[in-house]
Amino acid sequence: MSKDFVELSKKWFDGQAAVYDETDTILYSKYGKISCKNIFERLKKMDFKNLLDIGSGTGYLINMLSQTHEAEFIGLDLSPEMVRVSNSKNIKNAKFIEGRSDELPFEDEKFDVVTCSQSFHHYPDTDKAMQEAYRVLKKGGIYIISDTGVGFFKAVGVKFDDFIYRHFSNTGDCNVSYLEKTVRDMERNGFNVVDNEKLNTFVYTVIGKK
């Protein structure tokens, strides 16, 4: 029987939510904070009226951005416990809701910016997730993915994750990628990739424009 990666991800992050922010390890918030800080640096001087953070977790990125921008912030996460924790922070001009990356509950062309920090590798249908981000972005809007992928020996790493790791893991990880592949996937789904950066051996950021 095939795994239900959506349910595995929900259970995994529900179990982490209460201690996620203060647990700085690889399986908790270490890479998430690296990605969020990189996205924040890219956005802190950019003007925008509204932003959607997909896979918003405990609201770490939105909390930083709310201190520099008078904008509307919406965080969407699969985990009800992550949503509960983020809403409990009472972040200015922000609300957090449950939802899926491949079924965004928003009208077309609503957001100036869509971000996705350290959740993309949990998406069973990454093309649909990118297409949904494209749909809800305004023309000229920015889409930022910052995620963890395989490091050296990419072909071997992808095969290892695809055929071994994800079949034994209970974390909900199901999408194996890396910077160059994410660039190609984003372009294939209609985005003009305007920048990309490798943050360390495994973590990378890719920026696309609609």
Q: Where are the domains of the chain?
A: 5-209
Q: How far apart are the C-alpha atoms of 42 and 34, rounded to whole Å? A: 13
Q: What is the domain class of 5-209 according to CATH?
A: alpha beta
User: pLDDT by residue (tens digit) across 111-147?
Assistant: 999 999 999 988 888 999 999 999 999 999 999 999 9
Of the ranges 150-159, 160-169, 173-182, the best mean pLDDT one: 173-182
> Do residues 104 and 137 touch, judged by C-beta distance below 8 A?
no
Q: How far apart are the C-alpha atoms of 23 and 35, rounded to whole Å? A: 16
Residue 1's pLDDT is what?
34
